[in-house]
Structure 1
Amino acid sequence: MDPDTMELFRLQAEIAKTLSDPYRLVLLHELREGEKSVSQLVSTLGLPQSNVSRHLAVLRERSIVFTRRDGTTIYYRLANPRIAEACDIVREVLQSQLAHNHALVSAFNVK
């Protein structure tokens, strides 16, 4: 395999690892609506600010989100909205699989 292609797959794996936490996925889902402050995200997730800040730092290190400071408030936004679209596609696939599995279980229980 071409080294550049392999590097691209390695980087994709790093992004997948970064997104492997459900709270980070919720953060991305929330940020799809636009820029939000840390306190807004803390309120939405119901986690301590230190936990939310840690998750946001991981997303920032991977350039998945960007920050903007206004006085003492830090705002976060998606670096590229297509990452949220990719997460939507994965969720749609999962919902389809779950519906299929539910149909199989229901059919099995009828017999």
Structure 2
Amino acid sequence: MPKTSLPPATLDGLPDPALAEVASFFQALAEPNRLRLLNLLRGGEQRVGDLAELSGMTTTNVSRHLSLLQQRGLVLREGRGTSVYYRIADVGIYELCDLVCGSLARQSESQARARLALFRT
């Protein structure tokens, strides 16, 4: 059977149910502690207890956030013995986050230049 290649997914023209999925995905990223956990997973998989220690959150809180991230497909969970490990499901999430960070940095720079211009006049 021949392989079919999927066209690149874009926001343009998505039906309402798909838009709701996209919104749900971004909603998962709209919490600083979840972003902190994703960033801690950049270096590779981690145990819940280690993530709690590194983040300064309780194990219960970390587990709750990771559960939501798993539901949204951002992290993968693997139990090994008595430990549960989490890892990033798709490293493309870092490209997205870095793109947003770059955009925010440019906006901040632009606003700072505008403030300086006001004081110079």
The letter for the 2-side match of 1:100 is S
* Counterparts in 2 of 1:49 and 1:4: CA distance versus 1, 3 Å: same
Q: How many residues align?
A: 110
Q: Provide the TM-score with structure 2 as the length reference.
A: 0.81
Whether 1:6 and 2:26 are equivalent positions in the alignment is: no
Larger radius of gyration: 2
1:47-88 deviation line (CA, Å, top 9, x unaligned): 111111111111111121111112111110011111121111
Shift, 1:32, TM fit: 2.0
Q: Indicate the residue corresponding to 1:51 in structure 2.
A: 61
**Structure 2 unaligned regions, length at least 5:** 1-12
Whether 1:21 and 2:35 are equivalent positions in the alignment is: no
1:1-111 to 2 correspondences below 5 Å? 5-111=15-121
More helix by proportion, 1 or 2? 1
Partners of 1:110 and 1:48 in 2: how far apart? 49
Shift, 1:8, TM fit: 2.3
Partners of 1:108 and 1:50 in 2: how far apart? 49
Superposition misfits of 4+ residues, deviation over 2 angstroms:
3-8
The letter for the 1-side match of 2:64 is R
**Structure 1 unaligned regions, length at least 5:** none
RMSD: 1.9
1:3-27 deviation line (CA, Å, top 9, x unaligned): 9633322211110111110111111
- Match of 1:80, SS state, is coil
Identity %: 34
Task: Kindly indicate whether structure 1 or structure 2 has the higher relative contact order, using CA contacts under 8 Å at least 6 residues apart.
Answer: 1
